[in-house]
Structure 1
Amino acid sequence: MDNFIGEIRLAGFGFPPKGWALCNGQLLPVNQNQALFSLLGTAYGGNGITTFGLPNLQTRVPLGMGQQGGVNYPWGQAGGEAAHALTTAEMPAHTHALTGSAGGATALGPANNLLATPAAGALYGTGTDVSLASSSVGPSGSGQPHQNMPPYLVINYIIALVGIYPSRS
């Protein structure tokens, strides 16, 4: 099976065969790879005069170019992140329910019990409203990034340096 110049394949071995290179972002000389440069240009790096870059698919997942959900994904764009720290703005609106009972309390201590109507007398007296300490109610969590990767298997992406020049028709 003949390959096209610039074609990318998966390889289950740890090296690129003759006429192929790893998709690791390396810069190649334009004067030694003119056909491939005419296809890739500087989409993946290089100065476009003496060098051009190969796609860097190390620790990346390829994504087909196009538009989805009003977001444009142009050819050569890289994005995403391996770890992410969620902010409250990224969370959907939600509430945390407080469980209680209108029935009478049967225990004096709060451990392992619900809020309930006291068995006898008033649990709280009348008084003035006060602000609770910020540590008693409010956001929690450390804000540390978490891994953002599904299960994976490491394999090599290789790109053809030589082969059939693809036609546009």
Structure 2
Amino acid sequence: MIVKKTTIFCFLPTLAFAGMLGTSQPASACGEEAYTGETCITAASYCPHNTVEASGQILAINDYQALYSLVGCTFGGDCKTSFGIPDLRGRAPVSYGQGPGLYPHPFGQYYGTEAITQTIDQMPAHNHDATFTPNGGGGGGTGASVMVSQDPATTDSPAGGKYLAKATTGLAPIKIYNNGTNLTELEGVSGGGGGGSTGGTVTVGVTGGTETGGTQPMEVAGPRLAMRYCIVTNGLYPPHP
């Protein structure tokens, strides 16, 4: 009995170790089983072992040959002694290509901006027409009477403040005006005013007069959380499908 128990206990560790070897463990981003070239996000103050921050650094090919063989010089470098890695500072990665109704994005291309300043080409189509609306007008006008003087005329000059009067006889020039004494309404004669203007065109400049606004950039970025992107530099080499 003692021999049997000893034999069992000796083999248990061996069986357990063999079971571990036969277990397939999936690769985890930035973990011990991560693939070279993978990126991950961490809330820590540094990137884990075998990774570096994805901050657009230029690395030596001799120091990171496996990573260089995967990314090449897509993100910078001279492809002779150096190569670059992605710069994800302040950026959010998206899948490359062109989705339905979207712009095309070649692999490794940086694009987008956090704020824009509108130009004339980006403004909606509009005009600066204006309508003139007068106060009053449009009616039938007002009547007016013609006043004359009943006294003899004293001058032949139609100066301001003079009225038609009884004409004098004699040699020319004949006097037909006086200073408006003893006025009376001339019968059989009437006057009136027109209806006035009911509309018109107002010319407005393209700038609309005094300019307003500060032409400040307008933010277009949505809510985001800044964290740390890391890229695996020395992990498992990813098998090609």
Aligned to 2:230, what secondary structure does the other structure show?
A: strand
Shift of 1:91: 3.6
Residues 83 and 148, structure 1, Cα contact 8 Å, conserved in 2: yes
Q: Cα 1:129–1:90, aligned 2, differ >3 Å: closer, same or farther?
A: closer
- What does residue 144 of structure 1 align with? 216
Residue identity in the other structure for 2:221: M
Matched, 1:9 2:40: yes
Shift of 1:122: 2.4
Aligned to 2:104, what secondary structure does the other structure show?
A: strand
Shift of 1:132: 2.9
Q: Which of 31, 40, 58 in structure 1 is aligned with 2:71?
A: 40
Shift of 1:13: 0.9
Alpha-carbon separation, structure 2, partners of 1:10 and 1:157: 5
Q: How does 1:1-169 map to 2 (within 5 A)?
A: 1=28, 2-68=33-99, 69=101, 71-93=103-125, 121-122=136-137, 125-126=196-197, 129=201, 131-136=203-208, 141-169=213-241
Aligned to 2:66, what secondary structure does the other structure show?
A: helix
Residues 87 and 143, structure 1, Cα contact 8 Å, conserved in 2: no
- Structure 1: gaps (5+ residues): 99-114
Using the size of structure 1 for normalisation, the TM-score is 0.75
Alpha-carbon separation, structure 2, partners of 1:155 and 1:15: 10
For these two proteins, the number of residue pairs brought into alignment is 151
Alpha-carbon separation, structure 2, partners of 1:166 and 1:23: 19
Shift of 1:48: 0.8
Shift of 1:41: 0.4
Using the size of structure 2 for normalisation, the TM-score is 0.54
Percent of pairs with identical residues: 34
Shift of 1:70: 6.1
Alpha-carbon displacement from aligned partner over 1:119-144 (angstroms, at most 9, x marks no partner): xx329x53975523455469864432
Structure with more contact order per residue of length (Cα contacts < 8 Å, sep ≥ 6): 1
- The structure richer in helix per residue is 2
Residue identity in the other structure for 1:88: I
Q: Cα 1:91–1:167, aligned 2, differ >3 Å: closer, same or farther?
A: farther
